[in-house]
Amino acid sequence: MTAIAFTNPDDAQYIETEELLRKVLTPFSKELHVLRGSSEEQFKSFIDLLEKHKLKDLMLISHDAIPTPGTLKLLTNTSDESTRTLVGRLTRESIPDISVSRKFVENGESLEMNGVRSGMLIVSKEDIEQLKVTPMSIFKDRSGKSGVSPFDFIFQTLVQESAVSIVDGRDFVISRYLTFKDKREHFESHVMNGDEEALLRKAAVKDWDNLWTSIAVSPWTQYVAFWFSKRSITPNQVTIGSFALTLFAATAFALNNFWLNVAGAILVQLSFGADCIDGQLARMIGKFSRLGAWLDWMSDRIKELLLAVGLGIGSVTAGNSWDMCFAVLMIFVLRSAVNESFEMHRSHSVPSDSVQSRPLGFIGLERKVKNFITLPYGNRMGLISICIIVFDADMTLWILFLWSAFAATYQLLGRTLRGGGAKTVSTGILRDDGPITNWLQDRLPKVYGELSVFAFISIFLLLWLLTSKWILALLAVIGLCIASFPLVSRSIWLGPVFTCAAEFAVFWSAFLVTDEKYHWIFVSVLLLSGISRVMISTGLRFQRLSAHHSQRFSWEERSALMLVTLLVWPPLSLLVGLLLLIKMKKSLRHQIRALHLPQ
């Protein structure tokens, strides 16, 4: 990375400033250019440098900035490869001078300042090309009227013309100084005493996480991640270890013994801890990869399904039925479908005239309460560990079902009533439609998602209350028909949720009217169907992974085969599981192959 530092034309100690910069930047930048002279001369030198060198990444440093090893690591050790700047949080001594919304610097005079600019900026290759064609006359006009420095002009230009993302400075003191004396004092007080390692360790932990993670996991995982960062241990190795620990935990739950349940609870926490460590380790060492992100996201979704099955086996060996295990699996997969589709369609734009009065890093009480009642992944892991020790596998499944069902209903109804996702994007792959549904989508009239939501809730209630095989089959067919209707743009994000619900309505119908000795087959097929949907949604998160997605054996084909098993012979559903395994194997090979393609 090439670094360009601007200087203060009135600074008589520019030589000392340059020596300090070279000392700090050596591990991060192979080349440093220090620009001197008037503001116009420095801006002209900057444009000349861009034209003479083919730069991939560029770091710009303002004349009043003081980079340190810690702040430079924060800025460089990130998975964000776009143009980005380090932003400090407000303190009693700091004066806000930047507006931040979500993850970006906002442009607009009506926005309230809620952060502190660091004076450090990394410019992507695309924005470097844009800066090359910036006319000198525009800078002269701006500089003459407001006395803006070259760095500030470049920063404001990028904010207006493109998007500048932020890197949160967290507990680091972000400030700017005009004199070398102030810069040296800041450097000595915040670097020489060695407190930056502790700040970097804390910064590797997510800014704010769910309750269980914050009180029971993050306090110790940051130290393990820091220890790993000093050794040749990779985040992917930690992710694989986390998955293995979950398999052992699920096996312990399946054996249904008090002490094995205790061991399983400990393994769940170790597994979840490792799941936190892999991300913390990646942030500490700046080692990110598409394969690592793909592996981490997919393993998280699959692990909780495996734990539910382990609890289900333990419950059945104690004389209970498969009902709760089946219900919990359905809820987990449906919640995943709701979250994935909503995020894919949600508009992240912020109105230009909005007022950002909350300081960077502020988490309101309302968000904390919502996060708790919706039972996110970390809290689910904590709940499983506590309940399996205090109660047993069956009661743990009951608690998981009741809380997860409430959370899923709360999220689904809330997002549906307020319009859900605002972006109109293709949902075909996430829906997992087959040829029949694709044909119907172009011919059926559009319907409101709100009506379909209440229709599906009614169908599941009736499925729970009725016992006639033919009535259940009819209700399942009605669900399949509802899921095939196209939706108005306001609720188009619900499409993947409806196909998931329709498929599971068929599974649930078959489960309810067949002999208990076959229930393990339906649970196994539901598990494989859930993993198949997880693989589709995970692939969509990464570039190119959906380019050659095969929709053979879609949700409608799985549902049709399950209807046959409902009406003819339950063991036929093993065929569904076999076909799912074949499809999953092909999808897995395609995704891994696509991960190694250049972006």
CA angle 108, 110, 115 (to 5 degrees): 75
Cα distance between residue 336 and residue 125, in whole Å: 36
| Closest C-alpha to 31, from 64, 9, 59 | 59
- Cα 28 to Cα 23, 84, 166: the distances in Å are 10, 16, 19
Contact (Cβ atoms closer than 8 angstroms) between residue 533 and residue 319:
no
Cα distance between residue 273 and residue 217, in whole Å: 6
Q: Give the other-Cβ count within 10 Å of 137's Cβ.
A: 8
Active-site hit among 127, 168, 300, 432: 300
Three-state SS at 597: coil
The reply to whether 300 belongs to the active site is yes
Q: Give the other-Cβ count within 10 Å of 568's Cβ.
A: 9
Cα distance between residue 553 and residue 503, in whole Å: 12
- Cα 150 to Cα 43, 62, 97, 464: the distances in Å are 6, 8, 17, 68
Element (H, E) at 165: strand 165-168
Handedness of CA 328, 330, 336, 339 (dihedral sign): negative
Three-state SS at 123: strand
Q: End-to-end distance of the chain based on CA atoms, in angstroms? A: 20
Contact (Cβ atoms closer than 8 angstroms) between residue 510 and residue 477:
no
Residue 552 φ then ψ, to 5°: -65, 140
3-state secondary structure 239-275: HHHHHHHHHHHHHHHHHCCHHHHHHHHHHHHHHHHHH
Cα distance between residue 517 and residue 498, in whole Å: 29
| Closest C-alpha to 98, from 50, 167, 178 | 167
Contact (Cβ atoms closer than 8 angstroms) between residue 570 and residue 514:
yes
| Closest C-alpha to 80, from 357, 364, 264, 283 | 283
* Residue 271, CB-side half-sphere exposure with 13 Å CA sphere: 31
Query: Hey, which residues are catalytic here?
Result: 300
